[in-house]
Chain A
Amino acid sequence: MEARKVNAGRQPWDEIEGDEETILIRRTLRSGQKFYYSGNVVVMGDVNPGAEIVATGNIIVMGQLRGMVHAGAEGDDLAMVMAFRLQPTQLRIANHITRPPDDEVSGNYTPEIARIKNGVVTIESYPARV
């Protein structure tokens, strides 16, 4: 868990996590498909509306995330969710539940990352724009 200290003056090798299980899903998760994993989940494809991913670690979607995801499902509030296009029906991290604002029509096509900062789920573009 040493490498989990977020931000500030880190070296590239600090970013490498090796102590957790990670699974790679090489397809799109469709409506009604639920995936639970104890560890990190990486999806090469989309997560469609009506699909669910629950992971005890982080969730990374190399595609469009439009379903429900729950990262840090066993209470890890350092867990994060990242997607090429983050438009979840609902996004949960540890014991926080959020959903996108009702009136927002997102035209954001950049990768985004969601994590808990100061007790609230914050969404930022990733990598952060300079």
Chain B
Amino acid sequence: MGEVIVVTSGKGGVGKTTTTANLGTGLAQLGYKVALVDADIGLRNLDVVLGLENRIVYDITDVTGGHCRLRQALIKDKRFEGLFLLPAAQTKDKTSVNPDQMKTLCDDLRQEFDYVIIDCPAGIEQGFKNAIAGADKAVVVTTPEVSAVRDADRIIGLLEAAELRNPRLIINRVRHKMVAAGDMMSIDDIIDILAIDLLGVVPEDEMVIITTNRGEAVIQDDRSRSGQAYRNIVRRITGEQVPLLNLDESGLLGKIRRFMGFK
């Protein structure tokens, strides 16, 4: 029986889709069988990020509506054997699926996969309710901005109300230099408000944009800091204890180590 994890944030643009793609890729890299579900119906983009857009035939609404079998809608990833995507519909909206259907869908996926990761849409309305309906665990993504942290706090409250206890936090796009200069909220500031377990911290990294535009995941890039951060997060999801990445590697030693590919 697999585990269903929903990746959510409340606010848009903090990196839910990128995180979903990277966690999925990372888990598949470790040999797990993973299904990614794009619950952002009407604004799908997980398929684009994974570079699988041109392979879509059926989508999630076809499965829940009984127009096709689940197997037919699942798209196999180009790179990893065990990675599959269930794409969202682009021409419909969030009301075309209901929470009960999502629950059934997650239960079906759980039979076949080790991990099912759901990319939740921004907002707290129907789309969010659908996305969390079948989940066992939640990962909340935020960035070090007051607005994103506020929305994350709201989401944590809603998750708790929906009996999704102990969500874990990913802080995305942290700029160490700005934090050190006191211009950005620190990890401690954020934990202080949200008071939930930290799953990982991902530094701001241009490589994320570069790899995303190529339809790849940054986690495959051995040299990038964000890739390393995601690899650590993936290991934590599988139950390993991994220390937090030291973000302060701006010195010469850090540069050399990065250049050599050690981290």
Contacts and interface: CB of A to CB of B under 8 A. Distances in A.
Contacts, number: 29
Contacts of B151: 31
Nearest to A30: B157
A31 B195 contact: no
A46 B195 contact: yes
Interface residues of A, number: 12
A30 B193 CA distance: 9
Contact of A48 (B158, B160, B193): B193
A92 interface: no
Contacts of B156: 30
A48 B193 CA distance: 7
Contacts of A29: 157
A49 B150 contact: yes
Contacts of A49: 150, 153, 193
B103 interface: no
Nearest to A29: B157
A32 B154 contact: yes
Interface string A52-70: 0000000000001010000
5 contacts: A31-B157, A32-B154, A48-B153, A49-B153, A66-B193
Cβ-closest 9 pairs across A and B: A30-B157, A31-B154, A31-B153, A32-B154, A30-B153, A48-B153, A33-B157, A31-B150, A50-B150
